[in-house]
Every structure is written in C-alpha cells, then in structure tokens.
A and B are shown apart, each in its own frame.
Chain A
Amino acid sequence: MRVRSFIGTGSDSSLEAALIEIISKGLPLVERPYAQIAERLGCSEAEVIQGIDAIVARGDLKRYGVVVRHRKLGYRANGMVVWDIPDNRVAEIGHCIGQYAFVTLCYQRPRRLPDWRYNLFSMIHGKDRDEVVDQVAHIVHHCGLQGIEHEILFSNRCFKQRGASYLRGAQTDRSGRAQSE
C-alpha cells in the first residue's frame, strides 16, 4: 500500500503529505479513525490529530466534515453560470453573487479570447432547472446585472467525481508505470 512509503521517514512534511492524502479521500468510519490512520502510518494517534489540526489551522481546508453529493439529495440541476464582468467591477459583483446560500462557488478566472469571454464563474444547485433559472434572475435583479452577458451551463453526465489525488506517489502514468517508490 502506497502510504507505507511514509513510514519511518520521520519528517513532519511527509507525515503531513500522507495526512492530506488520507483526509481528502475520507476518514475510516470507525470509532477511532485517527488511531486507525496512525496505525497505517506508523505514528501516534496524537500526532495524527495534531497534524490535521495544523492543516485546518493554516486555513487550507474549505470544509472538514461530511461531504454531500447534491444530486443524490434531490438537487438534480446544477448550473455553472458564467458572467462577462468589466474587470474593474469583478470584486464588487463577485461578492454580491457569492453571498447567496444557493451559490456554492464564485470564482474569477481568466478570459481566453476569442474563444472564451467570461471571467466570473458561479455554481448554483437547484431541485430542477427552473429553480436555477429563477435564482439566476434573482441575482441579475439584486446585483444589478441587467445588460451583463452571461450563460447557464447545465451539467449532464458526470464522467468522474472523486477527491483529488495530490501526490505523485499515488499516481500511475498512462504507460502503466507505477510511480510509487
């Protein structure tokens, strides 16, 4: 198993890298998850808890808890709404859009002209498409975005969804060569 490569390395950074990998894949659902992780990594339960606490304290985590799948909870419509905002108004409008509970992400990204004109991305989940369309209309009205070009990109098939793998050691390249040490 890959995580064994961290055993005995003795450095804080390799323990931290292992913890990042483990908590992004999910804790074991057992009474003492941190003790089980400690056993796998060859360190103490206290070191695991302190290590995760340090990652949380640094603000690298958006959330640490139960990660829900919206589709399975009846939020079947997912619209990525992309906006073409004048560059000098992105922060102001971004904060306005990001304040709504039904907006789960609001990011500025670069334009790629001529193919892609939009520079602000917001994610909206709704029970159905009409609800998403209504929510977008609400944003347009309340943030004063009449006349701002935007499109709703509804999601269809999901081809892959999983926690990210951050470490090269976890990966196998397409030639099939395992990269684990």
Chain B
Amino acid sequence: MREFSTLEQRLLNDFQHGLPLTPRPFADIARQLGVYETTVLETLQRLHTEGVISRVGAVFHPNRIGASTLAAMAVPEAELEAVADKISRFAEVNHNYEREHEFNLWFVVVAEDEDRLQQVLREIEDCCGYPLLDLPLENEFFIDLGFDLKWT
C-alpha cells in the first residue's frame, strides 16, 4: 500500500457520509479542508483511478430498493473459477467472493422484486449445476458510522 497524503486521508476518512447536496459539493468539501476545489476533484479522480475508492455516491440499505439476498454455493475447487465467472455474468450479481469454507463462493443478488430475485436464483442454480443457499437479510444490528481508517 502506498502512503496517503493528509488530504487523501481526510477525504477517505471524513467524507464517507453526508456528501453535501449543494450545486458544488466538492467546493464545500474544499472549504472545509482549506484547499482548492480543483485539488479535491483531482485527488478524488486519482483515488478512483487507482481503485482506492469505488465511487463517490450512495450505498443503499439491503432490501430498501428492490429485493436482495446473500447466496452461497459449495463448488469443487477445480471448477471454482469457471463457476464464479458464470455467476459474475449475471447483471443481478454484484459482490462475488471466494471464501475459505466448504461453501466457498459467496455472492449478493439484487433484483427489482422478490419474484424476479427467486427467478434469478433458479437461473443461477440451473446455469452452474450446484444448489445455493439463499440467506436474505432478516434484521440489521448495526449503526453504520463509516469505517474508521487507522493510518498508523
């Protein structure tokens, strides 16, 4: 990991919430940080290009928009990459990770409603040839204050 400048650290840590809903939000951020608007924009663009930030935008609560679930599949190691690739091709799949467990492939499926979600889950099972666990969110026990990055 490269070193981050003080400006980068503050942009990454302090602005995970509450982006200003004003015509020039990056100018407002710049004012708070005592730098130029163009510096904020250039820095965010660089962090985005490097993949340090995925976007400046929204993270939705699961299930507030459309229907979603966390799914898991147990796939033989030799087939894992091919099966993961098939699953990733579904537009309804976003996160798709390998985890160290008998259930070694974990992915999030989002659709416009519950019927469509169930239809997509069946399509994924048919396409991959393995059953999946459908583990929808039932309760959330967590107040998201943003992840506090430790720079030391």
B94-137: CB near A (< 8 Å → 1, else 0) gives: 11111111010011101010001000000100010000011111
Given contact pairs A73-B149, A157-B97, A162-B94, A27 touches B57 in the complex (Cβ within 8 A): yes
Contact between B135 and A94, CB atoms less than 8 A apart: no
Contact between A72 and B37, CB atoms less than 8 A apart: no
User: In the complex, how many angstroms separate the beta carbon of A79 from the nearest chain B beta carbon?
Assistant: 9
Contact between B23 and A61, CB atoms less than 8 A apart: no
A177 at the interface (CB under 8 A from B): no
Contact between A68 and B66, CB atoms less than 8 A apart: no
Contact between A94 and B139, CB atoms less than 8 A apart: yes
Contact between A64 and B103, CB atoms less than 8 A apart: no
Given contact pairs A163-B57, A165-B92, A109 touches B137 in the complex (Cβ within 8 A): yes
B80-91: CB near A (< 8 Å → 1, else 0) gives: 000011011111
Total contacts A-B at CB 8 Å: 244
Contact between A60 and B65, CB atoms less than 8 A apart: yes
Interface SS of chain A: helix, strand, loop or mixed? mixed
User: In the complex, how many angstroms separate the beta carbon of A135 from the nearest chain B beta carbon?
Assistant: 13
Choice from B15, B24, B98 contacting A66 with Cβ under 8 Å: B15
14 A/B residue pairs, CB under 8 Å, sorted by A: A24-B57, A26-B48, A32-B24, A45-B23, A60-B61, A63-B146, A65-B18, A72-B51, A116-B133, A158-B97, A159-B98, A164-B60, A165-B92, A172-B91
What are the 7 closest A-B residue pairs judged by CB atoms, nearest first?
A26-B55, A94-B141, A171-B91, A98-B142, A160-B96, A108-B139, A74-B1
